[in-house]
Amino acid sequence: MLSAEAILRLVNHPMITVPENMTIIDALKSIVDNKCGAVCVERQGQVVGLWTERDLMRNMISGPFDMQTALIGDYMVTNLYTVPHTASLEELEDKCVGLYIRHLFVEKDGQIIGLLTARDLLVADLNLKSDEVKNLKSYVSLEYYENWRWKKP
């Protein structure tokens, strides 16, 4: 079983965090610089929110919005979805699909230890499937089927 904590180790990318008093334009620069789709928003060293590229689109059409002056803390999503570090890959995928979300915070001993994305789960699942196929192929070879006939005396 592949756990949330094991997947975090496999994907090996840090959570990108920004302070809640950062402007949207600076948070966006952080997203671009880090080639990611979301930033975790911190207050006094604790993750208190999430802001994504999808949130930017919503913010842009929801009314007056100035990226130069708007603070990320005023626009972040605070309803954070967490999973225990022991959650299986299947449980993580089920949660993402069932809740229509792309980001899950992983908790261990009451602390957030990482952020998993739907992409991370897809990569983990594909790696597992590739390993399974490789193992199955090792059991069956064409040599067996090519040499099935009786040997002529």
Q: What is the pLDDT of residues 85-140, one digit of tens each?
A: 999 999 999 999 999 999 999 999 999 999 999 999 999 999 888 888 877 777 66
For 118, other C-beta atoms within 10 Å of its C-beta total 16
8 A C-beta contact, residue 92 and residue 122: no
Q: What angle do CA 90, 117, 49 make, to 5 degrees?
A: 120
| Domain ranges for the chain | 4-140
Q: Does domain 4-140 have CATH number 3.10.20.30?
A: no
pLDDT at 104: 98
Cα torsion 111, 45, 54, 34: sign = negative
Whole-prediction pTM: 0.84
CA distance 115 to 110: 14
pLDDT digits (tens, 9 = 90+) for 35-59: 999 999 999 999 999 999 999 999 9
Per the listing, tokens 């998993």 go with: 116
Mean pLDDT to the nearest integer, 62-82: 93
pLDDT at 133: 81
pLDDT at 149 over 90: no
pLDDT bucket at 142, cuts 50 / 70 / 90: low
- For 102, which DSSP code? S
Tokens of 53: 């590229």
8 A C-beta contact, residue 24 and residue 52: no
pLDDT at 118: 96
Phi/psi for 43 (5° steps) reads -135, 120
